[in-house]
Chains A and B, each alone.
Chain A
């Protein structure tokens, strides 16, 4: 390609574009290298974390033989894991229930050394169920309250300084640490919110007799999934409100004007010409909210979650109200409990990494779903 004669010409100093500021150029290169390095460093860290979790978690969740999935991990609730050595020098590892059975079956076996590892046996069924229930309650509450607020702020309220300050106050809630919401939930939903009951608890602040033996009692719901779900809902309300408002703002004014000019009332206009088109946006944003809520530990550890609970909500409850006033286990709190055990050992690790891996896959699935839906609706609804 290169013509040698031409090269010579350029070298002779006839090149008007010859580089002059060598120093500047070197600095440019250094800066672009530095910026790139920072980016790749972060990328490497993220990849390392994902790889580490996957590497240690996959063997817990998947199996090499027939069904390939370790179903026990998903269908059993957490148990204490027992490890022990018998006089014969054999070592055993089993869940506590199997261990009791083993001792009953072999009363003659002498156990020389045994260790118990709390919550490291069994599976994660209970926490999975708990997290699902908490998330469902939270999203139901947050979406209905958040949607109502967003509609009011965006469609009904007269724009002005007062509304701006309300909006600012709501948005500021987003910066409050989640443990503060946990405490708020404990004081308000668990211990204060009024209920109608026939026998007020001792902790009730105030019990107003309603007649017929029932009381309006300020005693709260106690530690239960309802309290946890509501606490989580309050926590993500700012996000949901902002997302809903954003979706409402994206609907052209023309739709509202056209509808009103056809003789529609305000509510008809909102429900027929605005909400249907704003809904997809709200939904995708809310799914992202779900991933955040599902991962929160602080707001539920005082309000809803127990480190250990043998019964599942439907086993313990005999009514719908009873169902919702059950406390539950929850995945993030479960991970916390297992990881906070000291001493750690090779026996606690599978539970930790298995849970974290499942959790990560769930959250990533929801995030991907939300992105997928957003792209789809953006393509479909264009105006």
Chain B
């Protein structure tokens, strides 16, 4: 049983046990450590119609990576491939390629999707706290792992809420319903709930699109702080947001990855004509 505190050495948890399991290829050349490698991935919801086409990218540890692009271009789809949320949709799946996280092919038959999701957390567009108390919302992920010791839970709840910047606002009413908070607070509660299980990677699908500008600013600041501990991938429709929070940006168009580079480069001097057109607002 994995407990809350002991996660230092379990980078290998994801590793399949079998003999022929793929192993981590160390790329010592890069100073940056790659945590997610997407290799020639195509994806279809309905067999025969690929909505992601031959996508390859690397996502670095400790960075915020932004996915941008017009509606329907496949940003959410790729994001949901990274923690296999697309498994919920019957018949949907990769049609080619491989996604490696921490060096392990996450679609390998010996990978347990439950373990994968403990390492790759997700924050959704529509904030979705459970109709439980604030405390129980944050403790949920640990409880399902069998952690029930009050002292452990208390500590995890406190540190997660602190990390999510919500502690001071809710510490006096941990037992009141999570649904009684404001929209921005609810979204931060969802972030706290996600980081309580100590993932390595946090995926965020338009986390601010349902929030007011002030809450948005607070969450953007939170994201820049969180990247010290987590690798973050964020989908956004807001160009300013991408420039404010992300280190690298990937631009998608009609299921293809047009360009991926440092955010400053993408927004000042993109190498592709299409990217230029999109970020300057000529279409999208």
Residues in A lying within 8 Å of B, measured CB to CB: 158-159, 252, 254-255, 257-265, 268, 272-273, 277, 381-383
Do A382 and B88 form a contact, CB below 8 Å, given A254-B126, A262-B117, A265-B114? no
Q: Does B145 contact A (CB under 8 A)?
A: yes
11 contacts across the A-B interface (CB closer than 8 A): A252-B128, A257-B85, A259-B144, A261-B124, A262-B121, A263-B114, A264-B144, A265-B114, A265-B144, A273-B140, A381-B131
Do A255 and B128 form a contact, CB below 8 Å, given A158-B90, A260-B117, A383-B179? yes
Q: B105-135 interface mask toward A, CB cutoff 8 Å, 1 = contact, 0 = none?
A: 0000000001101100110101011110000
Tell me the smallest distance from the CB of B233 to a CB of chain A, in Å. 13
Q: Does B197 contact A (CB under 8 A)?
A: yes
Q: Does B263 contact A (CB under 8 A)?
A: no
Q: Does B83 contact A (CB under 8 A)?
A: yes
What is the CA–CA distance of A258 and B144 in the complex, to the nearest angstrom?
Answer: 13
Q: Is the Cβ of A261 less than 8 Å from the Cβ of B117? A: yes
20 additional A-B pairs beyond A257-B122, A263-B115, A263-B117, beta carbons within 8 Å, are A255-B130, A257-B88, A257-B124, A258-B129, A259-B140, A260-B88, A260-B117, A261-B83, A261-B85, A261-B121, A262-B117, A262-B118, A262-B141, A262-B197, A263-B141, A263-B145, A265-B114, A272-B144, A382-B179, A383-B179
Size range of the chain B interface in the assembly: 20 to 34
Q: Is the Cβ of A263 less than 8 Å from the Cβ of B128? A: no
With CB as the reference atom, state the residue of chain B lying closest to A256: B88
Tell me the smallest distance from the CB of A265 to a CB of chain B, in Å. 6
Q: Does B68 contact A (CB under 8 A)?
A: no
Do A261 and B131 form a contact, CB below 8 Å, given A159-B90, A382-B179? no
What is the CA–CA distance of A159 and B88 in the complex, to the nearest angstrom?
Answer: 12
With CB as the reference atom, state the residue of chain A lying closest to B140: A262
Q: Is the Cβ of A257 less than 8 Å from the Cβ of B128? A: yes
Q: B79-116 interface mask toward A, CB cutoff 8 Å, 1 = contact, 0 = none?
A: 00001010010100000000000000000000000110
Which B residues are CB-close (under 8 A) to A159?
90
Which B residues are CB-close (under 8 A) to A381?
131
Q: Is the Cβ of B128 less than 8 Å from the Cβ of A254? A: yes
Which B residues are CB-close (under 8 A) to A263?
114-115, 117-118, 141, 144-145, 197
Q: B172-197 interface mask toward A, CB cutoff 8 Å, 1 = contact, 0 = none?
A: 00000001000000000010011001
What is the CA–CA distance of A263 and B141 in the complex, to the nearest angstrom?
Answer: 7
What is the CA–CA distance of A381 and B88 in the complex, to the nearest angstrom?
Answer: 26
Tell me the smallest distance from the CB of B123 to a CB of chain A, in Å. 8
Which B residues are CB-close (under 8 A) to A258?
124, 128-130, 190, 193
Which A residues are CB-close (under 8 A) to B193?
258, 262
What is the CA–CA distance of A268 and B83 in the complex, to the nearest angstrom?
Answer: 18
Do A254 and B131 form a contact, CB below 8 Å, given A261-B117, A262-B117, A263-B197? no
What is the CA–CA distance of A88 and B99 in the complex, to the nearest angstrom?
Answer: 105
With CB as the reference atom, state the residue of chain A lying closest to B90: A158
What is the CA–CA distance of A263 and B122 in the complex, to the nearest angstrom?
Answer: 10
What is the CA–CA distance of A276 and B179 in the complex, to the nearest angstrom?
Answer: 16
Which A residues are CB-close (under 8 A) to B145?
263
With CB as the reference atom, state the residue of chain A lying closest to B143: A272
Tell me the smallest distance from the CB of A201 to a CB of chain B, in Å. 49
With CB as the reference atom, state the residue of chain A lying closest to B129: A258
Q: Is the Cβ of B85 less than 8 Å from the Cβ of A260? A: yes
What is the CA–CA distance of A217 and B257 in the complex, to the nearest angstrom?
Answer: 68
Taking each of B88, B90, B130, which has the highest tally of chain A beta carbons within 10 Å of its own beta carbon?
Answer: B130
Tell me the smallest distance from the CB of B81 to a CB of chain A, in Å. 13
Q: Is the Cβ of A272 less than 8 Å from the Cβ of B85? A: no
Taking each of B90, B114, B121, which has the highest tally of chain A beta carbons within 10 Å of its own beta carbon?
Answer: B114
What is the CA–CA distance of A382 and B140 in the complex, to the nearest angstrom?
Answer: 20
From B88, B122, B140, A272 is in contact (CB under 8 Å) with B140
Q: Is the Cβ of B179 less than 8 Å from the Cβ of A261? A: no
Which B residues are CB-close (under 8 A) to A254?
124, 126, 128
What is the CA–CA distance of A264 and B142 in the complex, to the nearest angstrom?
Answer: 10
Tell me the smallest distance from the CB of B177 to a CB of chain A, in Å. 10
- What are the 4 closest A-B residue pairs judged by CB atoms, nearest first? A254-B128, A263-B118, A262-B141, A261-B122
With CB as the reference atom, state the residue of chain B lying closest to A271: B144
Which A residues are CB-close (under 8 A) to B194?
261-262
With CB as the reference atom, state the residue of chain A lying closest to B145: A263
Tell me the smallest distance from the CB of B179 to a CB of chain A, in Å. 6
What is the CA–CA distance of A17 and B88 in the complex, to the nearest angstrom?
Answer: 63
Q: Is the Cβ of B130 less than 8 Å from the Cβ of A273? A: yes
Which A residues are CB-close (under 8 A) to B129?
258
Which A residues are CB-close (under 8 A) to B140?
259, 262, 272-273
With CB as the reference atom, state the residue of chain B lying closest to A380: B131
What is the CA–CA distance of A105 and B255 in the complex, to the nearest angstrom?
Answer: 100
Tell me the smallest distance from the CB of A301 to a CB of chain B, in Å. 45
Do A383 and B131 form a contact, CB below 8 Å, given A257-B124, A263-B115, A263-B197? yes
From A255, A262, A382, B144 is in contact (CB under 8 Å) with A262
Taking each of B115, B141, B197, which has the highest tally of chain A beta carbons within 10 Å of its own beta carbon?
Answer: B141
Which B residues are CB-close (under 8 A) to A158?
90
What is the CA–CA distance of A258 and B124 in the complex, to the nearest angstrom?
Answer: 8
With CB as the reference atom, state the residue of chain B lying closest to A160: B90
What is the CA–CA distance of A383 and B132 in the complex, to the nearest angstrom?
Answer: 11
What is the CA–CA distance of A322 and B122 in the complex, to the nearest angstrom?
Answer: 56
What is the CA–CA distance of A277 and B178 in the complex, to the nearest angstrom?
Answer: 14
Q: B37-78 interface mask toward A, CB cutoff 8 Å, 1 = contact, 0 = none?
A: 000000000000000000000000000000000000000000
With CB as the reference atom, state the residue of chain A lying closest to B125: A254
With CB as the reference atom, state the residue of chain B lying closest to A251: B131
What is the CA–CA distance of A262 and B141 in the complex, to the nearest angstrom?
Answer: 6
What is the CA–CA distance of A262 and B139 in the complex, to the nearest angstrom?
Answer: 11
CB interface residues, B 207-255, toward A, < 8 Å: none
What is the CA–CA distance of A264 and B85 in the complex, to the nearest angstrom?
Answer: 12
Tell me the smallest distance from the CB of A251 to a CB of chain B, in Å. 10
With CB as the reference atom, state the residue of chain A lying closest to B137: A258
